[in-house]
Every structure is written in structure tokens, then in C-alpha cells.
Amino acid sequence: MTDASPATPASDSAVTKEALALIQQYAGPLLVSCIILVAAYFFSAWGRRIVLRACERAEIDTTLARFFARLTRWLILLVAITFVLNRFGFETASFSVLLGAVGLAVSLAFQGTLSNFAAGVMLMVFRPYKIGDTIQAAGQVGTVDEIDLFSTTIDTVDNRRIFVPNSMIFGAVITNNSAHPLRRVEVQVALQHGVDSGDARAVLVRAAERVRGRSDEAPDAFIQDISPMGVVWLVYVWGPSADVVTLRRDLLREVHQGVRSANLNFAVSNNLPGS
């Protein structure tokens, strides 16, 4: 058996020429493509800031402004990637077909993610709440900090941050506590039988009038329910939506002090509504 003949100088030269030819063919486009992608990355960030500032000058809602800014950035990156692929001979039409097939496979694998995306788009369109609103949705209560295409970020009153999938919010009841500038703040008071209703109402209304920070709308009190154990009164004031927690705390304090000062008796029963 004879050994394999060593590579000849002619074959080595041919390999070197092929390697040089490949380098000459792809080195330039590859370098240019890298520069384009890096430039697109920084340009997309710059474009995002420009769109955000333009929306702020136009006094566009913060939620929509951030959405347009993020959309601008991704569009710039998508255009850059498409341009780079064209430089390497990828046909955009065939690439679109391939991308569609891949998208179908991904959609089947990530149905939950796509439902969150669709819900995020619908939230942007219908806008049941915006950044800064206090809402109750998907079993969570707090102030909206961010609205993304896939989730909504909520800050609770005890300073916790909760990320709620948009599909859970859009498919459930949404309560926007900040939709109107004024809110009615109310508390229930259970008094014993035998207390004159006129005297009780006068005491409760005077207590409500002492609440600081309420609006000019007149407070009121009325009988809400009657139980064998006592009479349930509803006392309310009107005030700014942003001060609901403080107003309710002050209303509870003033009502308690007013009832005690007037020597009225609270009803003691766990069966009373609101007790």
C-alpha cells in the first residue's frame, strides 16, 4: 500500500486563491453590514427619543407617546435588518414567505404570548386607562406605571410592583378609579335603635363637613339598612380622586369622634352590613 501523495504547490495555491476570493467577496459587505446594524441600533434609540419628545410637545398622552416611540425603534431596526439581508442576496419576497411560516410555527407555540400582544394592542386602541391612573383589574389594585404590548405594570399602595399580562386585564372587568376628577367617598355607620334619626343625621353630616380636603359638594347621610340589631347609615363626601384614601381616613375619624361626642351608641353586631 502506497502513502497518499502530498498536496502539490499548485493545489495549495488554488485553495489560497479561493479563500482570497471569498474574503474579497464577503469581507466588504460583511463589514458594511456590521456598520449598518450598529448605526441602526444607535439611530433607533435616537429616533425613539425624538418621537417621545415630539409627542410631549404635541401634548400626546404619555401612554401613546411611549408606544409610538417603541414602535419607531423597532421599525428602524427592521428596515436595517431587511437591507442587510438584501445585500447578501436574500430575496425579500422569499424571506417574507419563510418568515410567515416561522411565524405560524411560533404562534402555535406561543399562543399565550400572542394573546397578550393582541390584548395590548386593544388596550392601546380603546385606552380604558392610561399611565398614572389608579385601576382595579385582574384582582390587582394600584397605579399604572407602564403599559407594554405584553403586560401592564402596576404599583400598589404598599410599594409593590406587579406585572399583569394584558390578556388577563382585557378579558376581565376594569375599574378605573381615576377616570373622573371627583369621587364620592363613603363609610357605613351602624347605630343602635332608639336614636332619633334627625339627630343622628345632623351629627353625621356635621362630622362629614369637618373633613379637610373635600370638594364643595355638600356631604350627606342617609339610612341605608335596618337590622334587628341597629340602623345602618351611609355617610359620604365628595373629593379629588387622587385623595380618596386620605379623605376616607379623615371621614372615619370625624364620624367616630362626632358619634362619641353626641353620646350616640354604636350597634355592636357582626351581622350588620358593613360591620
Give SS3 for 212: coil
Greater model confidence, 100 or 125: 125
Contact 208, 219 (CB under 8 A): yes
Domains of the chain with bracketed CATH: 13-109 (1.10.287.1260), 126-176 (2.30.30.60), 182-261 (3.30.70.100)
Contact 55, 64 (CB under 8 A): yes
Residues 6+ apart with CB under 8 A from 62: 130, 131, 132
Q: 11 pLDDT exceeds 70?
A: no
pLDDT at 274: 47
pLDDT tier for residue 272 given thresholds of 50, 70 and 90: very low
pLDDT at 137: 94
pLDDT at 96: 60
DSSP annotation string for 156-206: -TTS-EEEEEHHHHHTS--EETTSSSEEEEEEEEEE-TTS-HHHHHHHHHH
pLDDT at 275: 43
- Least reliable range by pLDDT among 11-15, 107-111, 121-125, 218-222: 107-111
Residues belonging to the chain = 275
Residues 6+ apart with CB under 8 A from 238: 182, 183, 184, 185, 214, 215, 217, 219
pLDDT tier for residue 57 given thresholds of 50, 70 and 90: confident
pLDDT tier for residue 171 given thresholds of 50, 70 and 90: confident
- On the CB side of 186, CA atoms within 13 Å amount to 14
Distance CA 232, CA 222 (A): 9
Once rounded to an integer, what is the mean pLDDT over residues 192-199? 91
**Which range has highest mean pLDDT (40-44, 71-75, 97-101, 215-219)?**
215-219
> Can you read off the three cell numbers belonging to residue 222?
342617609
pLDDT at 150: 86
| Greatest extent of the chain over all pairs of C-alpha atoms, in Å | 123
**Which range has highest mean pLDDT (37-46, 71-80, 251-260)?**
251-260
pLDDT at 98: 56
**Which range has highest mean pLDDT (63-72, 75-84, 101-110, 166-175)?**
166-175
Q: 35 pLDDT exceeds 50?
A: yes
159: left (phi over 0), alpha (psi -120 to 50) or beta: left
Mean pLDDT for the chain overall? 82
